[in-house]
Structure 1
Amino acid sequence: MPGRWARYGRGRQTPNHAILHARRSVIIWSPSRTASSHNSTKEASKSNLEGGRTINPLAIELNEIIREGVPELYATLSALGRELYFPRGILTQTAEARQRAHLYNSTIGIATSQGKPLYLPGLMRFLRDMDPAEAFDYAPATGMSTLRELWREHQTEANPSLKGRSFSLPIVTSGITHALSICSDLFCDAGDLLLLPDKLWGNYRMIFGTRRGADIRQYPLFRDDGSLHAQAFREALLSFADRPKILVLLNFPNNPTGYSPHLEEAEAIRDALLEAAEAGANLVVMVDDAYFGLFYEEVTYKESLFSLISGVHPRLTAVKLDGATKEDYVWGFRLGFITFSLAGGDDLENVYRALEKKVGGLIRGTISNCSMLAQSLLLKAMKAPGYKEEKERNYRLLQDRYREVKEVVYRERYADAFRPYPFNSGYFMCVRLEEVDADTLREHLLDRY
């Protein structure tokens, strides 16, 4: 195989081949190649310099697809985002071998017996209803295609406004934290602006600030009367409209307050984003839907904000971050999804595929792939009879707890001690202490109760 890498389950050294042992298999490279191919590779290396770094031709190809399809999206990619690509090699060869290697498949990358993954019976006895391949095999870097399609159906069913909108096939991630990390790598360079509310999940600072050097700015989430401060969000956003790129992170139900907007508040957020886009800012709006679906009041907007901002403006890239962690009560599965929505291009599907390859390359270069066992179990659960009824029972239980907490915390006897922040959804509620230091109270409660 001149000029190419080939992977074999076993290999033997020959005079014209260099052999490298990699884990359980042997990688063989044939150095024989034509002078023309060698020269063209050298020329490619010379021409693929960007910012002093050599950019892989596959990354350049993806960049051109994005630049031609949605130039506003290309402008928001980080330096790392522009370098990302999905490698052609063992993963591509393995996928082809699964389809075409009928006699022997020696590019599979795992140990097999009788056509199935080799496994320990002591583990398999706990997975009696599963095929070994569903539990022990590698998953594709971007996730099982059947699960991705089914999750897309779930997104559309739970968010009817998405019907007819343009959005990508969800990509499987190892939890929503991983999905957020992917976004930070894909879009955030040091010094890029990230707009967050003053009530937020602290890990955002680690993911975007510590890891990627984002310039984090905040706005008040609530007015004094307890309503969502959409005007403060608008003013903060427009004050930075002269920036070439603005990253925005929206999280409802909000962690830690447990608040979700009413329809009018959600529409005000959308309108502010559109106003900033019209003013010339390129926006990447990440919607953290970790607690999606846990809405306990009728007046709450019960769709993701992703539904309101999908495909609304070429300068607005919407990213939905959701997953089974809370929606399906499987915290330890570490299964999330990342979904993109764009506007303005003539061939958005081609741009979505380019984004998928960049994300797939990032996953390949960090964790390789996400758990096949967790994906298989979720897929089976979503297809099983009674799945929706089981989720509804858990939802009702949490809703009952919400109502009981709400009744207690608003009692007059506690008015001098604390004031609850508005809450109507999710897992949490949050109070503002009137006189006592929060950590002092925490220690007191631990010691006494």
Structure 2
Amino acid sequence: MRHERISVTDEAAELNQQLKGTVAERLLSRQGVRAYYPKSGIPGQTMEAKGTQINATLGQAFDDERQPLYIPAFAKYTNLDPKEVFPYAPTHGITPLREFWQKEIRRKNPSLDGIISLPVATSGLAHGLTLAQQLFIDEYDMVTIFAPFWGNYKLHFEGENEQTIWNPVPLYNQKEKLNLTEILAALSGMDRKHILSLTFPSNPTGYTPTEAEAEDLFTIIKESAERNNDILVICDDAYFGLTYEKGLLEESPFARLANIHENVLAVKVDGATKEAFFWGARVGFLTYGFKGMTKEEAKALEDKTAGRVRGTISGVCTGSQHMVLHGMQDPLFEEQLQKNRDILQGRVQTIKRTLEEHPEWREEYRALPFNSGYFMCLKTNKDTERVRKILRMEYNTGVLSINNMLRIAHAAVPEHAIPELYENIYQACKKVS
């Protein structure tokens, strides 16, 4: 372990012992080393008292029939059983949902092999990313990430003292393919700690690598691990399942990385937010995998994660978790999910066709490669902030200006409005000298 002199509780020491000798132990941050779920404290004693005739442990109110003492004015706005809404959920998340989500991970990622942890519920993916930082990213650790990247990563990965070292690698090479050369350089050396953050489909570019590009990326990671580097790969799967062309990576990178080498710890950050079109539920998950991981080691990671959940938000909304569980188990869910995916795919196809029909637009901007997700980006030599303001004030059109590009959230644009949107951008660009 890199932090031998850290003072920890007996419960944290027990979890560290269960992880001893693994890549997970070596990658833990100082806070990760200290993290534990207080089984001997209130949560543990409350769990032991479950089912007793007189239970005076719970910090919740119940009626004389031991049902939640809720307010009917709230209950009338949901069809869920009050017991699925009003009580606290377990810190790790409700067990049926965790088990269901784990099965879904395996179903959607058939190449996934080996043991993976039982997903721990988080308050959306953003919370999951912050927990990953707390557990594994120390001050002055370097995070390699494809650029451009979602601006919130700096909020999630920098920690309280904002001392994280950023190593942004351009997503595209000169041929506008996945930039593997600089990833190879970033994961060079031996006997080092590497942190790699992957987001496919990408936010903001809407790019997913081809199967061949992904295979080369996995090879680079494996060869770096073979040089005795410990590698943390955070797989942000926010837009999982939203690929619109053949030949792309369909599975999560987690599927290959969770069992690729003993020195690679893969962390899957996912949830119902965009994958299941349920943004307001704020239900996400953290799942772990490394080659040779035992069930005991998986449980230790789950408990460390739950300790940080309890230390930040206490637990994830009970009603939201049950809504996600019941909704995804509904016999019509998959059909309805595919309908939404088809709508987004249709918009992307319309964008590509519209861009091809208007070669004159290339005088002002060009589209970076995109094939998936919610977004795409336009590159222009004009001042994008000025273009954005002109679009808003003169064309009643809203886009984002980031990294000297224009980001288009096509997931939010009706298909019939797509030609007008890109014509407006063209006209606004022409007005900027």
TM-score tier by shorter-chain length is 0.7 to 0.9
Matched residue, 1:67: 20
Structure 2 counterpart of 1:317, from 265, 283, 300: 265
Distance of 2:179 and 2:19 partners within structure 1: 35
What SS class does the counterpart of residue 430 from structure 1 fall into?
A: strand
What residue ranges of structure 1 are gaps of 5+ in the alignment?
1-48
Matched, 1:93 2:40: no
Match of 2:314 in 1: 368
Structure 2 CA distance, aligned partners of 1:115 and 1:408?
Answer: 62
Deviation at 1:307, TM superposition (A): 1.1
Q: Aligned-pair distance for 1:50?
A: 5.6
Are positions 1:388 and 2:353 aligned together?
A: no
Alignment-mate amino acid for residue 135 of structure 1: V
Identify which of 137, 152, 172 aligns with 2:121: 172
Following TM superposition, by how much is the alpha carbon of 1:439 offset from its aligned partner in structure 2, in angstroms?
Answer: 0.6
What amino acid is aligned across from residue 263 of structure 1 in structure 2?
Answer: E
1:143 is aligned to 2:93: yes
CA RMSD of the aligned region, Å? 1.5
For the residues of structure 2 that align with 1:137 and 1:284, how far apart are their CA atoms? Answer: 36
One-letter amino acid matched to 1:154: E
Determine helix, strand or coil for the equivalent of 1:106. Answer: coil
Report the alpha carbon displacement of residue 210 of structure 1 after superposing the two structures with TM. 5.2
**Separation in structure 1 between the aligned mates of residue 306 and residue 384 of structure 2, nearest angstrom:** 43
Q: Which structure has the larger Rg?
A: 1
For 2:68, which of 100, 111, 117 is the aligned residue? 117
1:202 to 148, 151, 160: 151
Query: Which residue in the other structure is 2:169 paired with?
Result: 219
Mapping 1:13-162, distance limit 5 Å: 51=5, 54-68=7-21, 70=22, 72-87=23-38, 88-98=40-50, 100-101=51-52, 103-113=53-63, 114-127=65-78, 129-162=79-112
Q: What SS is found at the alignment partner of 2:49?
A: helix
Q: CA deviation at 1:243?
A: 6.0
Deviations 1:71-124 (A, max 9, x none): x321111111001111122111222222x31x2221121001122111111111
Distance in 2, Cα, partners of 1:391 & 1:210: 35
Shifted more, 211-220 versus 171-180: the winner is 211-220
Aligned length: 389
Q: Distance in 1 between matches of 2:249 and 2:315?
A: 34
Question: What residue number does 2:288 align with?
Answer: 340
Alpha-carbon displacement from aligned partner over 1:313-346 (angstroms, at most 9, x marks no partner): 111001111110001111111111111001245x
Q: Given that residues 91 and 315 in structure 2 are in contact (C-alpha distance below 8 angstroms), is that contact kept between their aligned partners in structure 1?
A: yes
Q: Distance in 1 between matches of 2:288 and 2:349?
A: 35
Segments of 5+ residues of structure 2 without an aligned counterpart are 396-433
Contact 1:97-1:108 within 8 A present in 2 as well? no
Partner in structure 2 of residue 420 of structure 1: 367
Structure 2 distance, partners of 1:74, 1:213, is 22
**Which of 209, 220, 223 lines up with 1:261 in the alignment?**
209
Q: 1:372: Cα distance to partner?
A: 0.3
SS of equivalent residue, structure 1 residue 415? helix
Partner of 1:192: 141
**Is the contact between residue 209 and residue 216 of structure 1 (CA under 8 Å) also seen in structure 2?**
no
Q: How does 1:236-385 map to 2 (within 5 A)?
A: 236-238=186-188, 241-242=189-190, 244-344=192-292, 348-385=294-331
For 2:56, the aligned partner's letter is S
Mapped to 2, the partners of 1:244 and 1:381 lie a distance apart of 44
Q: Secondary structure at the match of 2:158?
A: helix
Identity %: 37
Amino acid corresponding to residue 122 of structure 1 in structure 2: A
Shift in Å, 1:405: 1.4
Moved more, 368-377 or 54-63: 54-63
Question: Structure 1 residues 179, 438: closer, same or farther in 2, change over 3 A?
Answer: same
Moved over 3 A (4+): none
CA drift of 1:413 comes to 1.6
Aligned to 1:3: none
Query: What SS class does the counterpart of residue 371 from structure 2 fall into?
Result: coil
1:390, 1:315 → 2: CA distance? 40
Q: Distance in 1 between matches of 2:106 and 2:153?
A: 27
Distance 1:429 1:132 in 2: 42
Letter in 2 for 1:230: L
Matched-pair contact (CA < 8 Å) for 1:294–1:425: yes
Counterpart CA distance in 2 for 1:178 and 1:315 is 26
CA contact (8 A) 1:340 1:352 kept: yes
Q: Which residue of 1 aligns with 2:404?
A: none
My pick for the range that moved more, 410-419 or 334-343, is 410-419
**Alpha-carbon distance in structure 1 between the residues aligned to 2:131 and 2:311:** 11
Q: Deviations over 1:187-225 (max 9, x none)?
A: 111111110112111111121125352111121110222
Deviation of 1:389 after TM superposition, in Å, equals 0.6
Find the aligned partners of 1:402 and 1:286 in 2 and give their Cα distance. Answer: 27
Matching residue's letter, 1:271: T
Letter of the 1:177 partner, please give it: A
SS state at 1:54 partner: coil
Query: Are 1:445 and 2:391 matched, yes or no?
Result: yes
The CA distance in 2 between the partners of 1:412 and 1:210, in whole Å, is 45
The alignment partner of 2:89 has SS state of coil
Q: Secondary structure at the match of 1:414?
A: helix
